[in-house]
Amino acid sequence: MTAGDRSFDPDAAIDFSNDLKQAASDLDATSMTNLHSGVLSFMPAFGVPEIAQVNEQKYESAYRTVVTDMQTLLDNLSALADSIDEAVAAEAEAEEANTVELTNFSAALE
């Protein structure tokens, strides 16, 4: 392969897709679970009543942002894995079509 040539390795793509799916599964099983029902789901005590309400609002805002960002990350990991799976399937179809075309071309030459 020369510089600038590109090739598609379906096995490597499948491995990468599986890695993405595993990362999404691990994130969901650990961090997301902790945020929704684990230790991280409990709001800390903020002490002095005068500043407690402000700190509580800041905490709730930050918590919502983290949950939203992590959910977006999960969605993006899943979408990327799906796209890679689609590319692998399309590559297989293209290879089969190329084989048929070359076989027909060879038969026409004979």
Of 15, 33, 19, the C-alpha closest to 70 is 33
Q: What is the pLDDT of residue 28?
A: 92
Q: What is the pLDDT of residues 47-98, one digit of tens each?
A: 888 888 888 899 899 999 999 999 999 999 999 999 999 999 998 888 777 7
d(CA 100, CA 50): 77
Cα separation values, 27 from 35, 59, 60, 67, Å: 11, 22, 21, 12
User: Per-residue pLDDT tens for 7-20?
Assistant: 889 999 999 999 99
